[in-house]
Amino acid sequence: MNRPVRLSPDPVPGVQLAPSRAAPSSIAIITDAWHPQTNGVVRTLSTTCALLERWGIAVSVISPEGYPSLPAPTYPEIRLALTLPGAVGRRLARIAPEAVHIATEGPLGLAARRYCLSRKVPFTTAYHTQFPDYLARRTGLPARAFWPYIRWFHRPARRIMVATETIRAQLRAEGLTQLTHWSRGVDLSCFSPAAPPPPEYAGLKRPILLYVGRVAVEKNIEAFLACDYPGSKVVVGDGPARVALAARFPEARFLGKKTGVELAGCYAGADVFVFPSRTDTFGLVMIEALACGTPVAAFPVPGPLDIVTGEVGALSEELTRAIDAARYCDRAACARYGASFSWEAATRQFLAGLVALEEEQAVSLQTAPAF
């Protein structure tokens, strides 16, 4: 169940807050993306929660767990929670957190947003996914059709957390200016060049070109698999597009879902990591690949533009050119650069970006919802 974990309060290392503002000792995070989903949002939130709890901060996650749900249209692996009016508000009232963070724009995020606004309680949000582009790929409608919802959803937030400067500029152009930086990190105890390559790599023709992530239409994997480049193409991950892509590209190797050291070995044993997505705001898999010493080839779009430098990869609208250039990058430089992304530093950014509730706001939050 989504119950708060109460730990003894300790100073949080390295968090710089305004002199008049103390770090919240309890946080409610509302997210429509949670386990058993496997994606960058879930990994970011679960890692952040684990570190906050290690630092003595009580974290309560309100997720689809425990609610009836329906499969998301065109994406059945994602479940959309069905909540009665006021259900999320009552959960927030019971939790009584000192800060509220709404991580996603789905049904649970909407319910939490409504409750906080009705109580005049400040909250923060995050822009994890290029939601308009994502929906455009799945519906055939133009991305501009979905931006009014994004602006409406995030406008009341006291702060909007973004992972890169490119996304910051994009949201600012949409009139959303209350932006704060929240980067991502790598588990360096797992992801390193020393990770052993998987047995499936034995005998594969070099170079081995790797994709890791959700196997879904918005990830643009067909652009990778269709590119005319010699060697072997490997896909690690699962999702609704896997069967169709495997049938269309029988020469590619689909290894399914990998985690931990097995996943690190897939990165470390590859010659180039190919990131074909045009809809990500960051691309956590890119820095994991770099930490394993593997250079990145990608399109020059948000995410790669903010992460990939000429020393550790290559960007081009012609993916074959990016792959060819990335092959000659220094793998030691890639590993050093990947190791510079720390989950501890990213979690300090998250904590510093929260808005702690004043006493009267906390009292208002705990008032049982009338709707």
Q: Give the CATH number, domain containing residue 294.
A: 3.40.50.2000
Asked if residue 36 has a cis previous peptide bond (ω within 30° of 0), the answer is yes
Residue 69 shares a structural domain with residue 218:
no
Q: Which two tokens stand for residue 241?
A: 């597009």
Neighbours of 117 (CB within 10 A): 12
Do residue 212 and residue 160 come from a single domain? no
**193 domain residue, yes or no:** no
User: Both 167 and 230 in a single domain?
Assistant: no
Q: Note the pTM of the prediction, 2 decimals.
A: 0.89
Q: Do 291 and 206 have their domain in common?
A: yes
Specify the pLDDT at position 22. 67
Q: Tell me whether residue 15 is in a domain.
A: no
* DSSP summary character for residue 56: T
Instruction: List, for the chain, all residue ranges whose pLDDT scores fall below the cut of 70.
Output: 1-22, 74-77, 368-371
- Same domain, residue pair 313 and 240: yes
Looking at residue 78, its pLDDT comes to 73
pLDDT of amino acid 51: 97
Please tell me what DSSP assigns to residue 185.
Answer: -
Same domain, 212 and 305: yes
Residue 132 domain flag: yes
Predicted pLDDT at 38: 83
312 and 209 belong to one structural domain: yes
3-state secondary structure (DSSP) of residue 195: coil
Question: CA 45 → CA 49, 125, 177, 275, 349, distances in Å?
Answer: 6, 13, 23, 22, 13
143 CB burial (10 A radius; 0-12, 13-18, 19+): middle
User: Do 38 and 162 fall into the same domain?
Assistant: yes
- The reported pLDDT for the residue numbered 30 is 98
How many structural domains does the chain have? 2
* Residues 225 and 315 reside in one and the same domain: yes
86 phi, psi to nearest 5 deg: 85, -5
Give residue 109's domain range: 26-185+345-365
**Residue 280 sits in the same domain as residue 134:** no
What is the model's pLDDT at position 62? 97
The answer to whether position 20 is within a domain reads no
**Do 160 and 219 sit in the same domain of this protein?**
no
Tell me if 246 is assigned to some domain.
Answer: yes
Residue 191 lies in a domain: no
Separation CA 240–CA 225 (nearest Å): 16
Q: Count how many Cα atoms sit within 13 Å of the Cα of residue 202 in the half-sphere of its side chain.
A: 4
Q: Kindly tell me the sign of the dihedral angle through the C-alpha atoms of 258, 259, 265, 266.
A: positive
Q: In the prediction, which pLDDT does 10 show?
A: 40
Q: H or E segment at 304? A: helix 304-307
Q: Is residue 241 domain-resident?
A: yes
Residue 9 domain flag: no
